[in-house]
Structure 1
Amino acid sequence: MNRKIHKIWRTIRNSEELQEEAIEQLEKAQARLRKVETEADRFRVNGYSEIKREKLNLIHSISTTLEQLENYKNEAIDFEQQRVINQVRQRVLQQALQGALGTLNSCLNNELHLRTVSANIGMFGMMK
């Protein structure tokens, strides 16, 4: 009976030692888990910060690009307006020059006609 009791006590002691080892391993695992969770939280926060920073950079970049496109559009509109204004000026000047040329031709024709008539009258007067 003594042997059985001794064996039971040894089994109990072994069980207690195994339990203590299991508790130590569990505590180490819990400590590692806490460390990993803390590091994961840090990465998560840093990741969110990085994503937010990238998002703001992208928004700024898009805003700058849109502003440049708006400026290019306005420059193109201004250029086109100036081109049309210049075309209108050119047409007005061309019409004014054509009108002046027409008036000048008319005046020259009238002058030539008067001189021709005068010359003819003069010649007719000499012939008499």
Structure 2
Amino acid sequence: MANSGVMKLVCLVLACMVVAAPLAEAAITCGQVVSKLAPCLTYLRSGGAVPGTCCNAVKNLNNSAKTTPDRQTACGCLKNAYNSISGINAAYAGGLPAKCGVNLPYKISPSINCATVR
């Protein structure tokens, strides 16, 4: 990842931590969500084969978000990441969980209302 990409990721993690701070009952943090899904960034921008490390990250994140507050936090973090990182392809992002064999209770999208995620 280029140096500017690393800086964007660091800024995104910090922003997500600030946004998620009021959600004290959630055990998962935006920092965890973003760092877990970092292996997916190349796929989300350019497609091709989904790396195994990316699918492992998607599965681990899904397994970590067991409660409604955790799922809502993860959803908000994904939404913020989607809107903050340039070049993410909507079709690749929306289809990633299915490509990894994970059934999320929401679609990864910049327009999702995370408050409705259960």
Q: TM-score, normalised by structure 2?
A: 0.19
Q: Which has the larger radius of gyration?
A: 1
More helix by share: 1
TM-score for both structures, normalised by structure 1: 0.17
